[in-house]
Amino acid sequence: MEIGENCVKVPHEKPFRYEEDGLTVTRGSAWSGPGCHDGCGVLMYTDKNGKLVRVEGDPDNPYNQGRLCCRCLAVTECVNDPNRLRHPMKRDPQYRGDATKWVETTWDEAFDTIEERFKYYRKNFGAESVSFWKGTGRDIATYISRLAWSYGSPNLTSGMNGISCYLPRVFGCQSTVGNFYVGDYSQQFADRYDNPNWKCPDIILIWGNNPIVSNSDGLYGPWITDCMHRGAELVVIDPRLTWLASRAKTWLQIRPGTDCAMALGLANIMIQEGIYDKDFVEKWCYGFDEFAERCSEWTPEKTEEVTWVPKELIIKAAREIANADGMALQWGVSFDQTREALPGSQAAFSIVAITGNLDRPGGMIVPPELLQYIGGWGGEFLGEEQHEKMLGLQEFPFYRSGVTNASDQLIIKAMEIGEPYVQKAAWIQTTDLLVGCGPDPVRAEKALLKNELNVGVDLYLTVTINKVCDYALPAATYPERNGIRIGDGVQRGETINKAVDGGDIKSDMEINLELGRRLRPEAWPWENVEEMYSYILEPTGEKFEQLQKDAPVYLPFEYYKYEKGLLRPDGQPGFNTRTGRVELWSTYYASHNIDPMPHYTEPDMSPYSTPDLYEKYPLIFGAGAREFNTFHAENRRQPHLRAIKPEPEIEINPEAAKKFGVHNGQWVWVESVYGRAKRIVKETPTIDPRVASTSHGWSHPEAGLENNFDADDLNINRLLDWDHVGSTGVGSNYKSNLCRIYPVKPGETNRPGNVEEEDD
Site of interaction with Mo ion (CB under 5 A): 136, 165
Q: What is the CA radius of gyration of the chain?
A: 25
Q: Identify the H or E element spanning 455.
A: strand 453-458
Q: Which of Mo ion, ligand SF4, ligand MGD, none does residue 30 bind (CB under 5 to 8 Å by kind)?
A: ligand SF4
Binding site for ligand SF4 (CB under 6 A): 30, 36, 38-40, 64, 68-69, 71-72, 215, 220
3-state class (DSSP) for residue 251: strand
Minimum distance from residue 737 beta carbon to ligand MGD (Å): 10
State which of residues 257, 356, 363, 596 lies at the interface with ligand MGD (CB under 6 A): 257
| Closest to 102 (Cα-Cα) out of 114, 90, 94 | 90
DSSP 285: E
- Kindly state whether residue 484 participates in binding ligand MGD, applying the rule CB under 6 A: no
Burial of 602 (C-beta count, 10 Å sphere; 0-12/13-18/19+): middle
For the segment 504-523, give every residue that binds ligand MGD (CB under 6 A): 508
DSSP 1-58: --TTSS-EEPP-SS-SEEEETTEEEEEEE--SSSS-S---EEEEEE-TTS-EEEEEE-
* The one segment of 558-566, 569-577, 616-624, 666-674 that binds ligand MGD by CB under 6 A: 616-624
Minimum distance from residue 52 beta carbon to ligand SF4 (Å): 14
Minimum distance from residue 239 beta carbon to ligand MGD (Å): 5
Terminal CA-CA length for the chain: 57
Task: Output 350 or 540, the one with its CB closest to ligand MGD.
Answer: 350
Minimum distance from residue 574 beta carbon to ligand MGD (Å): 31
Task: Output 64 or 188, the one with its CB closest to ligand SF4.
Answer: 64
Task: Output 551 or 711, the one with its CB closest to ligand SF4.
Answer: 551
State which of residues 633, 662, 705, 739 lies at the interface with ligand MGD (CB under 6 A): 633
State which of residues 238, 440, 683, 713 lies at the interface with ligand MGD (CB under 6 A): 238
Task: Output 215 or 548, the one with its CB closest to ligand MGD.
Answer: 215
- Kindly state whether residue 690 participates in binding ligand MGD, applying the rule CB under 6 A: no
Q: Where are the alpha helices (DSSP H) in 216-258?
A: 222-229
Is 35 within 8 Å of 697 (Cβ atoms)? no
Task: Output 499 or 623, the one with its CB closest to ligand MGD.
Answer: 623
Neighbours of 613 (CB within 10 A): 17
State which of residues 152, 162, 172, 256 lies at the interface with ligand MGD (CB under 6 A): 256
Is 454 within 8 Å of 50 (Cβ atoms)? no
Minimum distance from residue 164 beta carbon to Mo ion (Å): 8
State which of residues 10, 141, 237, 442 lies at the interface with ligand MGD (CB under 6 A): 237
- Pairing status of strand 453-458 against strand 471-474: parallel
| Closest to 752 (Cα-Cα) out of 159, 94, 97 | 97
Task: Give bridge partners of residue 649 from the DSSP assignment.
Answer: 680
Task: Output 6 or 246, the one with its CB closest to ligand MGD.
Answer: 246
Task: Output 626 or 679, the one with its CB closest to ligand SF4.
Answer: 626
Task: Output 7 or 261, the one with its CB closest to ligand MGD.
Answer: 261
Minimum distance from residue 596 beta carbon to ligand MGD (Å): 24
Show Cβ contacts of residue 601 under 8 Å, excluding neighbours closer than 6 positions.
260, 339, 340, 343
Show Cβ contacts of residue 244 under 8 Å, excluding neighbours closer than 6 positions.
206, 210, 211, 212, 224, 234, 236
- Kindly state whether residue 277 participates in binding ligand MGD, applying the rule CB under 6 A: no
Q: Which of ligand SF4, ligand MGD, Mo ion, none does residue 180 bind (CB under 5 to 8 Å by kind)?
A: none
Task: Give bridge partners of residue 23 from the DSSP assignment.
Answer: 20
- Kindly state whether residue 717 participates in binding ligand MGD, applying the rule CB under 6 A: yes
d(CA 137, CA 433): 12
Task: Output 152 or 218, the one with its CB closest to ligand SF4.
Answer: 218
3-state class (DSSP) for residue 691: strand
- Pairing status of strand 453-458 against strand 425-429: parallel
- Kindly state whether residue 475 participates in binding ligand MGD, applying the rule CB under 6 A: yes
**Amino acid code (one letter) for 672:** S
For the segment 151-190, give every residue that binds ligand MGD (CB under 6 A): 160, 165
Query: What is the binding site for ligand MGD (CB under 6 A)?
Result: 32-35, 37, 135-136, 140, 160, 165, 207-210, 213-216, 237-240, 242, 254, 256-257, 259, 332-334, 337, 429-432, 436-437, 457-460, 462, 475, 508, 622-628, 630-634, 693, 696-697, 716-717, 734-736
